[in-house]
Amino acid sequence: MSLKGKHALITGSSRGIGRGIALKLAEHGVKTAIHYHTQSDAANETLAKVRACGGDGFVVQADVTRPDEIRQLFRRIEREFGKLDILVSNARPELSAFYQPPLDLTLDQLRAALDSQAQAFLLEAQLVSRIMPDGGRIIAISYSPSGLTGSWQPWVGMGAAKAALDSLARYFAVALAKRRITVNVISPGATEDSVVGRLPTEVFNAIKRWHESGWTPMGRVGTPADVGNAVVLFCMDEAGFITGQTVHVDGGGSIMDPVFPLEIQRGIGD
């Protein structure tokens, strides 16, 4: 079950969920390329934490909405590591780049979301396939409910982009299956130190209270470490026959029925 000696790239790993994934892989001896766009200090802090956990790696900058920069990113990976065993596609723009309701969303904002998710994943998966040994792991970090619902109105651009990302992962799972490269999606729920955690404090506190009240069966929001643990599981040899799947790391929140109030779902008043 050891991952020691493996090499990974985690896009958007300077902080938040990406950092949580990097630290969990570091605990298993993985060498990681810590990618960032603008947060260079945070990326170097992540690298220091990775080393403190027993891993190693380097910091690399790129704008994943720009194909040329993605190509440069993978050239750097090949120079530094020679190969890549694990790719985690996690990066996204800041909220200001795409966060608008459907009637106000501009084409530029839609493109920012799509380019950071569907376009970036397409190129990353194509490029990594050239330097990834058979049996490698590709994991996309998504938010799958946003491709099925329309309730979080300002998320429409990213919701459409995540739906495209989820679909691409399934196609690549088939394309790479004969090489035993698995391609899976992890869909976190509300998570601390993530896009949800960076909403205004009063908004995030309301979200936490909602989940702690019972909407998430396990009674809390997630943490970056929770997502990191799921990535580690997918990377193990024992997960080699799991591909094309979406796993919700949300304490059971995604299996709750939104039609009925919680008190009815709990059987109160029977």
Q: What is the pLDDT of residues 251-260, one digit of tens each?
A: 999 999 888 8
Domain boundaries, the chain: 7-194+223-253
For the 7-194+223-253 domain, the top CATH level (class) is alpha beta
> What integer pLDDT is reported at residue 95 of this predicted model?
87
Q: What is the pLDDT of residues 105-158, one digit of tens each?
A: 999 999 999 999 999 999 999 999 999 999 999 999 999 998 889 988 999 999
Task: Output the average pLDDT for the chain.
Answer: 94
Q: Which residues pair with 138 in a beta bridge?
A: 87, 183
Which tokens hold the place of 270?
């029977």
Q: What is the Cα–Cα distance from 133 to 148, expressed in whole angstroms?
A: 34
Scored b (16 or more CB within 10 A) or e, 78-100 reads: eeebeebbbbbbbbbbeeebbbb
Full-model pTM: 0.94
pLDDT band at 270 (very low <50, low <70, confident <90, very high): very low
